[in-house]
Protein backbone atom coordinates (compact mmCIF):
# COMPACT_ATOMS: atom_id res chain seq x y z
CA UNK A 1 0.00 0.00 0.00
CA UNK A 2 1.46 3.34 -1.06
CA UNK A 3 1.25 6.50 0.99
CA UNK A 4 0.19 9.90 -0.29
CA UNK A 5 2.50 12.87 0.12
CA UNK A 6 0.20 15.12 2.15
CA UNK A 7 2.47 18.12 1.58
CA UNK A 8 0.96 18.26 -1.93
CA UNK A 9 -2.58 18.47 -0.54
CA UNK A 10 -3.64 22.08 -0.92
CA UNK A 11 -7.15 23.50 -0.68
CA UNK A 12 -6.00 27.00 0.24
CA UNK A 13 -8.32 28.30 -2.50
CA UNK A 14 -11.39 27.33 -0.44
CA UNK A 15 -13.08 30.34 1.17
CA UNK A 16 -15.25 29.56 4.19
CA UNK A 17 -16.71 33.05 3.88
CA UNK A 18 -16.19 34.12 7.49
CA UNK A 19 -13.43 34.44 10.04
CA UNK A 20 -12.65 31.93 12.77
CA UNK A 21 -14.61 33.81 15.47
CA UNK A 22 -17.80 33.95 13.40
CA UNK A 23 -17.44 30.31 12.33
CA UNK A 24 -16.88 29.22 15.94
CA UNK A 25 -19.87 31.24 17.20
CA UNK A 26 -22.04 29.70 14.48
CA UNK A 27 -20.84 26.20 15.40
CA UNK A 28 -22.26 26.62 18.92
CA UNK A 29 -25.45 28.42 17.81
CA UNK A 30 -26.08 25.68 15.23
CA UNK A 31 -25.54 22.94 17.84
CA UNK A 32 -27.70 24.57 20.53
CA UNK A 33 -30.58 26.04 18.52
CA UNK A 34 -30.73 24.12 15.23
CA UNK A 35 -29.36 20.57 15.54
CA UNK A 36 -30.77 20.18 19.05
CA UNK A 37 -34.31 18.85 18.61
CA UNK A 38 -35.50 20.59 21.79
CA UNK A 39 -35.91 24.00 20.11
CA UNK A 40 -39.21 24.18 18.19
CA UNK A 41 -39.06 27.99 17.75
CA UNK A 42 -38.85 28.62 14.01
CA UNK A 43 -38.90 32.41 14.46
CA UNK A 44 -35.81 32.29 16.66
CA UNK A 45 -34.00 30.18 14.05
CA UNK A 46 -34.91 32.62 11.30
CA UNK A 47 -33.64 35.50 13.45
CA UNK A 48 -30.33 33.72 14.15
CA UNK A 49 -29.82 32.82 10.48
CA UNK A 50 -30.34 36.46 9.49
CA UNK A 51 -28.01 37.57 12.27
CA UNK A 52 -25.29 35.37 10.72
CA UNK A 53 -25.87 36.68 7.19
CA UNK A 54 -28.50 34.39 5.64
CA UNK A 55 -31.14 35.93 3.41
CA UNK A 56 -34.50 34.62 4.63
CA UNK A 57 -37.92 35.54 3.22
CA UNK A 58 -41.22 35.81 5.05
CA UNK A 59 -43.17 32.82 6.30
CA UNK A 60 -40.17 30.45 6.33
CA UNK A 61 -40.56 27.49 8.72
CA UNK A 62 -37.52 25.68 10.11
CA UNK A 63 -38.31 22.54 12.08
CA UNK A 64 -36.14 20.98 14.87
CA UNK A 65 -32.93 19.08 14.18
CA UNK A 66 -31.81 21.06 11.11
CA UNK A 67 -28.06 21.33 10.47
CA UNK A 68 -26.74 24.31 8.48
CA UNK A 69 -23.02 24.61 7.73
CA UNK A 70 -22.64 28.30 6.77
CA UNK A 71 -25.68 30.62 7.03
CA UNK A 72 -23.82 33.42 5.24
CA UNK A 73 -23.91 31.25 2.10
CA UNK A 74 -27.67 30.56 2.36
CA UNK A 75 -30.72 32.18 0.78
CA UNK A 76 -34.30 30.97 1.43
CA UNK A 77 -37.25 32.69 -0.22
CA UNK A 78 -40.82 33.18 1.07
CA UNK A 79 -43.03 30.42 2.54
CA UNK A 80 -40.50 27.61 2.34
CA UNK A 81 -40.60 24.71 4.79
CA UNK A 82 -37.39 23.06 6.09
CA UNK A 83 -38.28 19.73 7.74
CA UNK A 84 -36.81 17.86 10.69
CA UNK A 85 -33.20 16.68 10.37
CA UNK A 86 -32.57 18.46 7.04
CA UNK A 87 -28.85 18.88 6.47
CA UNK A 88 -27.66 21.87 4.42
CA UNK A 89 -23.93 21.27 4.02
CA UNK A 90 -23.38 24.49 2.10
CA UNK A 91 -19.67 24.89 1.56
CA UNK A 92 -20.79 27.05 -1.37
CA UNK A 93 -23.92 29.05 -2.11
CA UNK A 94 -27.35 27.42 -1.61
CA UNK A 95 -30.38 29.23 -2.99
CA UNK A 96 -33.83 27.91 -2.07
CA UNK A 97 -36.80 29.49 -3.82
CA UNK A 98 -40.29 30.33 -2.59
CA UNK A 99 -42.88 27.72 -1.63
CA UNK A 100 -40.33 24.89 -1.47
CA UNK A 101 -40.54 21.88 0.82
CA UNK A 102 -37.44 20.08 2.08
CA UNK A 103 -38.88 16.99 3.77
CA UNK A 104 -37.47 15.19 6.81
CA UNK A 105 -33.85 14.14 6.50
CA UNK A 106 -33.27 15.69 3.07
CA UNK A 107 -29.64 16.62 2.40
CA UNK A 108 -28.07 19.34 0.28
CA UNK A 109 -24.44 18.25 -0.04
CA UNK A 110 -22.17 20.73 -1.76
CA UNK A 111 -18.74 19.23 -1.09
CA UNK A 112 -17.14 16.32 -2.86
CA UNK A 113 -13.59 15.16 -3.46
CA UNK A 114 -11.68 14.51 -6.64
CA UNK A 115 -10.99 10.80 -6.32
CA UNK A 116 -8.82 10.85 -9.46
CA UNK A 117 -6.10 12.82 -7.70
CA UNK A 118 -3.82 11.39 -5.02
CA UNK A 119 -4.45 14.55 -2.97
CA UNK A 120 -8.25 13.98 -3.00
CA UNK A 121 -8.86 17.73 -3.58
CA UNK A 122 -12.09 19.32 -2.42
CA UNK A 123 -14.65 20.23 -5.10
CA UNK A 124 -17.60 22.54 -4.39
CA UNK A 125 -20.44 23.86 -6.55
CA UNK A 126 -23.63 25.72 -5.59
CA UNK A 127 -27.10 24.19 -5.35
CA UNK A 128 -30.17 26.03 -6.58
CA UNK A 129 -33.74 24.99 -5.78
CA UNK A 130 -36.14 27.11 -7.81
CA UNK A 131 -39.67 28.03 -6.67
CA UNK A 132 -42.02 25.19 -5.76
CA UNK A 133 -39.39 22.42 -5.52
CA UNK A 134 -40.22 19.48 -3.24
CA UNK A 135 -37.45 17.24 -1.92
CA UNK A 136 -38.83 14.01 -0.49
CA UNK A 137 -37.78 12.56 2.85
CA UNK A 138 -34.14 11.44 3.00
CA UNK A 139 -33.44 12.59 -0.56
CA UNK A 140 -30.08 14.07 -1.55
CA UNK A 141 -29.09 16.87 -3.91
CA UNK A 142 -25.39 17.14 -4.77
CA UNK A 143 -23.27 20.17 -5.63
CA UNK A 144 -23.72 21.82 -8.99
CA UNK A 145 -27.36 20.75 -9.31
CA UNK A 146 -30.28 23.02 -10.11
CA UNK A 147 -33.75 21.71 -9.35
CA UNK A 148 -35.94 23.68 -11.73
CA UNK A 149 -39.34 25.16 -10.90
CA UNK A 150 -41.79 22.76 -9.22
CA UNK A 151 -39.65 19.66 -9.76
CA UNK A 152 -40.01 16.82 -7.25
CA UNK A 153 -37.28 14.50 -5.97
CA UNK A 154 -38.92 11.40 -4.47
CA UNK A 155 -38.16 9.77 -1.10
CA UNK A 156 -34.53 8.57 -0.75
CA UNK A 157 -33.63 9.61 -4.30
CA UNK A 158 -30.32 11.24 -5.32
CA UNK A 159 -30.12 14.17 -7.74
CA UNK A 160 -26.62 14.45 -9.15
CA UNK A 161 -27.74 16.28 -12.30
CA UNK A 162 -30.27 19.03 -12.98
CA UNK A 163 -33.99 18.35 -12.65
CA UNK A 164 -36.33 19.73 -15.32
CA UNK A 165 -39.30 21.90 -14.31
CA UNK A 166 -42.62 20.23 -13.46
CA UNK A 167 -41.28 16.67 -13.46
CA UNK A 168 -41.03 14.02 -10.74
CA UNK A 169 -37.73 12.16 -10.31
CA UNK A 170 -37.00 8.95 -8.43
CA UNK A 171 -34.04 6.63 -7.79
CA UNK A 172 -30.27 6.72 -7.49
CA UNK A 173 -29.32 8.34 -9.72
CA UNK A 174 -32.68 10.07 -10.02
CA UNK A 175 -34.50 9.60 -13.31
CA UNK A 176 -37.57 11.38 -14.64
CA UNK A 177 -40.67 9.21 -13.99
CA UNK A 178 -43.62 11.46 -14.77
CA UNK A 179 -44.85 15.00 -15.21
CA UNK A 180 -45.97 16.96 -12.15
CA UNK A 181 -49.45 18.32 -12.68
CA UNK A 182 -50.63 20.95 -10.21
CA UNK A 183 -54.41 21.37 -10.00
CA UNK A 184 -56.05 24.54 -8.81
Give residue-wise pLDDT tens across range 107-123: 999 988 888 888 888 88
Domain assignment of residue 49, yes or no: yes
* pLDDT for the residue 65: 97
* pLDDT for the residue 1: 44
Question: What's the chain's length in residues?
Answer: 184
End-to-end CA distance of the chain: 62
Domain assignment of residue 24, yes or no: no
6 — pLDDT class (breaks 50, 70, 90): low
* pLDDT for the residue 14: 78
78-89 tens-digit pLDDT? 999 999 999 999
Domain assignment of residue 14, yes or no: no
Pair 157, 171: CB distance under 8 Å: yes
Domain assignment of residue 117, yes or no: yes
- pTM score of the predicted model: 0.92
* Strands laid side by side in the 55-56 sheet: 55-56, 74-76, 94-96, 127-129, 146-147
Amino acid sequence: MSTTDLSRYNNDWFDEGAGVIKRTAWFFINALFFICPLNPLSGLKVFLLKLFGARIGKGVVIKPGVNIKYPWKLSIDDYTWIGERVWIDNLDRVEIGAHCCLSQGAMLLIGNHNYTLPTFDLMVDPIILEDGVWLGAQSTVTGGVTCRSHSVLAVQSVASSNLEPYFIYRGNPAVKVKERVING
